[in-house]
Amino acid sequence: MYKYYLTQRGIAPGCQPNDFTSWEETPNGELTSGKRCYGIINYRRELSPEEISMHELIPHSDETRLRENKPFKGWDKFAENTGKGTYDDYAKPGDIVDEETFDYFLGILPPAMMKRGYLQVGEPYRMAKAEDGTYKETWMTFVKEGEKYFYLGHCFIGERKHRG
């Protein structure tokens, strides 16, 4: 199954290739890439680059998935239901979090980096390979943009890009 995000409008005649198998509405959802999403459409085949471009679709991937709202209070319930207790099991890079989550991670250790609306939690999370071939420490990273808080994942110090 191949999934694509509708970035300009919902399902309508001529607005997507016709041989889709199913679709779901996501009224004004937001993708982690920052674009709007008006639905997810599923195909049994991979669409051509021309079809994707002509219909202004975005292929589904971890980098462009729909942002989910992950409130702090939901973390405990998630752990109870799944047996998975780490924050990375619960939230994925790009997810919307609440101020309580931001404050929790701010309070567990002195921050590795703290700027206005930017927090990197106080101990390295893991090592990741940088573009120059060296390995660097990554840090759990959160930002506040406007009135929303986001989990960015594991980023190099001072950066906003998730490094896996």
pLDDT tens across 47-69, in order? 999 999 999 999 998 778 888 89
Q: Are 101 and 143 in contact (CB under 8 A)?
A: no
Separation in Å, CA 68 to CA 18, 64, 108, 128: 28, 12, 24, 25
Q: Which three-class secondary structure state does DSSP give residue 20?
A: coil
Q: pLDDT tens digit string along 126-164? A: 999 999 999 999 999 999 988 999 999 999 999 999 997
- Is residue 31 classed as helix, strand or coil in its secondary structure? strand
| pLDDT classification of 116: cutoffs 50, 70, 90 | very high
pLDDT for position 20? 96
**CB 95: neighbour CB atoms within 10 A?**
20
Q: Where are the domains of the chain?
A: 2-64, 69-155
